[in-house]
Amino acid sequence: MKVIYKMWLDNSGRAFGEGPYRLLKGVEETGSLWKAAAALEMAYSKARRIISCCEQNLGFVLITRKAGGVSGGGSKVTSEAIELMGKYEKIRAQIEDALSATYAKHFGEPAEVQFYETVARKRGRRRT
């Protein structure tokens, strides 16, 4: 049996979760919000809206953008976003440990703990 969970950080509205986290990881890897969105099979306009909404709810900038042109454009994850991503990763890991321990306590065996977004992706649903 599996334990499947979903979580996000809320600050008078959904502020940060798996979708924004994956976008930021993609920007970190590619230097581009457009490429990060494409890798997630997401429209660039949706990716921009997600990041903008998170920035508004969090009260700080997640990525800096450089307009294209001769030298090309790109995006960079801010230091505040990197710190948030690290904390988010630690929270997720601790939640998974706690869920696994609680399941084992009640069912007497270890559980496979999965994040809902990961399960939805494997089933062919795009949820970000």
CA dihedral 86, 89, 91, 97 (to 10 degrees): -140
Domains and CATH numbers, the chain: 2-6+13-122 (1.10.10.10)
- Which pLDDT score, from 0 to 100, does residue 1 have? 84
- Which pLDDT score, from 0 to 100, does residue 128 have? 44
Q: How many CB atoms lie within 10 A of CB 98?
A: 11
DSSP secondary structure letters along 34-81: HHHHHHTT--HHHHHHHHHHHHHHHTS-SEEEE--STT--EEEE-HHH
SS3 7: coil
- Which pLDDT score, from 0 to 100, does residue 90 have? 97
- Which pLDDT score, from 0 to 100, does residue 14 have? 86
Q: Encoding tokens for residue 111?
A: 């559980």
- Which pLDDT score, from 0 to 100, does residue 127 have? 46
- Which pLDDT score, from 0 to 100, does residue 102 have? 94
Per-residue pLDDT of the chain (128 residues; tens, 9 = 90+): 889 999 999 988 889 999 999 999 999 999 999 999 999 999 999 999 999 999 999 999 999 988 765 566 789 999 999 999 999 999 999 999 999 999 999 999 888 898 887 655 555 555 44
CB 28 within 8 A of CB 100: no
